Each structure stands twice: as structure tokens, then as C-alpha cells.
A and B are shown apart, each in its own frame.
Chain A
Amino acid sequence: MENNVALKGEIKRMMVENLMLQVTIEEIGDQQPLFGPGGLGLDSVDALQIVVALDKNYGFKIPNPETARQVLQSVATIAEALTNAPA
């Protein structure tokens, strides 16, 4: 569980830095939608940057748009995908 909390923190930091978000890490909720109403307000270009950053930082490849839709829902779903990814 602690690892998962740390991982979510890393993901948030990665998003704030890579996407140059105007919010702090603390302001991003684990379950907060990344896209759409009530969310962080990310768009498809942000999604592309997250996909590239996940590959660079974790070696985690998102092979197609459908997987991207499933994984990139929130910080929590990204952390879950990274945790469940084969080593």
C-alpha cells in the first residue's frame, strides 16, 4: 500500500512536470478524472506525453488507443496498470 502511495506521488509529479500543469501535486486526487468534466482538463496531446513518459520512466508501453483509454483514466488507474504490469 505504501508503495502504491509513493507510486501515485511519482505519477503526479511526472504529470505536473511533463505537462507543465498549473496545479500542485497535492491538488491532484488519486481518483480525479484526467480528462473531461470535473477532471484535470487534460487533452489528447497531454495523453501522448503521458504515454511517452510512462515508457521512458517505467518501460511501460501502451500499445493501442483502447489500452490508453483504460489506463489513462486517473492517477489510480495508471498506478494500478504499472503495478500489474509484468516485470
Chain B
Amino acid sequence: MSARVILITGANGGIGLAVARAFLAENSRHSLWLGVRQHRAEAEALAREHPDCCRCIALDVTSPKAWAEAVTEILRAGARLEVLVNNAGAHQDMLLGTMPREAWDQTMSTNLDSVFHGCQAVLPSMINQRWGRIINIASLSALLAPAGQTNYAAAKAGVVALTQSLAKEVARIGITVNALCPGYIDTESLAHWSAEERKAAQARIPMRRFGKPAEIAAAVRFLACEEAAYITGSILKIDGGVY
């Protein structure tokens, strides 16, 4: 893949970092922007390792103003922004019957509104270029809709629908929009699980193991490449066969 300007949100997390590393391994002339908020130590460490092509940028994905500022800064630096990976997300799992309104609103804002704001912020430059790749990290929860995740599952299902709808809107402008639905991926979100919980979860996965962040990153990298130009509106589940 030729050198591109790439913005990855939630870049301090396991999947975000893996995506960044995958792009860095692919082409050292990529220009990577790592969108981070409070937690940024690991992203900053990666940026220090690759000072010529990788830098952190403050980005509260729930804020349209923050998006506008971040995209302006990126375009000022290189005049192009070609790939957006909407990876930032968070969940607050609980039963709907006792879910505080804040847990609903925050989950919607972080997981769904953020994708809307991000796509809207990058579209003008992608339209001008007549080339763009938007890759949204949804979740298997969007398809499985597990109990205890009404907020998260609804938000991620929204991301899936947004992806499919936006893909149709911008297809003829050379912009593709796709979503990934990762299943159980061995990141910080599973770190607090006990050995028993991990074992029980793995028993429900046909491959009997959790996915690796690099396995998500590989799919992101593929969807961003030239050869994936005809793939748009696709929802790719990466779940070891669960769904």
C-alpha cells in the first residue's frame, strides 16, 4: 500500500495499537495520527519509537469541535487524510432494568455518535481527494445482542447500519466504508477476567481461543489497501467462528 495519512481513534488500546503497528510494518512512509484522550502512555511510547511518521493527537471522539480541530491539524501538516479507523469505544454492561440514563447516553456517545462525528469531519477532505477509506470497529455484540449490553449492542448495531448507509452515499466518490465485528479479542477489556471466566468464554468459541489484536489489525490494513477498492458496506466478523 502506498504511503497514506491515517487517523486511528482509541489508539492507546490493544486493537488501536495493533492497527498502528500493522500500518507501520507495512510502509514506514505512512503518516500515522494516534487519536488519544486520557489514556495515552502506550500510544505516546509508540510515537516516540517512530518520530518521523507517527504522532499522538488529542481527540475526544464525542466532541464535534475536537474532531474539527484534529482534522484541521492533520490537513495543515500534510494536506491529506486518507484513512480513518474509528476504533474508540467503551462499554458499561448492565441490565436495562437498572441501567442509569448516563450509562445509556455515554455508551451511545462514545460508540455511535463518535463515528458520526468522525465520518462527517473527514468526508470533505476525502471527497476532495476522491479517495478515502473509513473502517469502523463495531463489535460482535452488534450481531449477537447479548444480555447486559442493550446500550453497547444497540450502539454497535448503529455503527453497522451507519457503515452500510454511508457506504452507499459515497461509493461513487471513491470512498469505501466498512465495519469489523470483532468477537472476544485478548485486550485490556478481558484483562480483569479470572482464569475460570476466560476458560468458560473460550469454551464457547469454536476455535477455543481469543482473537489477537493483530488479527483485527490485519483486516483493517487490508480494507485500507488499494486492492480492497471494490469492498464497501461490508461487515466482517472476526470471531473465531462464534456467530
Using CB atoms and an 8 Å cutoff, list the residues of chain A in contact with chain B.
Answer: 45, 48-49, 52-53, 55-56
A33 to chain B, nearest CB (A): 21
Instruction: Assess the B128–A52 pair: CB atoms within 8 A.
Output: yes
Interface size range on B against A: under 10
Bound CA span A52–B172, Å = 15
Cross-chain pair count, CB within 8 angstroms = 17
Instruction: Assess the A45–B172 pair: CB atoms within 8 A.
Output: yes
Instruction: Assess the A56–B128 pair: CB atoms within 8 A.
Output: yes
Instruction: Assess the A52–B124 pair: CB atoms within 8 A.
Output: yes
SS of B interface (majority): helix
B169 CB-CB contact with A under 8 Å: yes
Bound CA span A48–B123, Å = 10
Residues of B near A55 (CB, < 8 A) are 124
Q: Contact flags (1/0) for B148-184 with A, using CB distance below 8 Å?
A: 0000000000000000000001101100000000000
Known: A45-B170, A48-B127. 11 other contacts (CB 8 A): A45-B169, A45-B172, A48-B169, A49-B127, A49-B173, A52-B123, A52-B124, A53-B128, A55-B124, A56-B124, A56-B128
Q: Which residue among B169, B172, B173 has the maximum number of chain A CB atoms within 10 Å of its CB?
A: B173
Residues of B near A52 (CB, < 8 A) are 123-124, 127-128
Using CB atoms, name the residue of chain B closest to A51.
Answer: B124
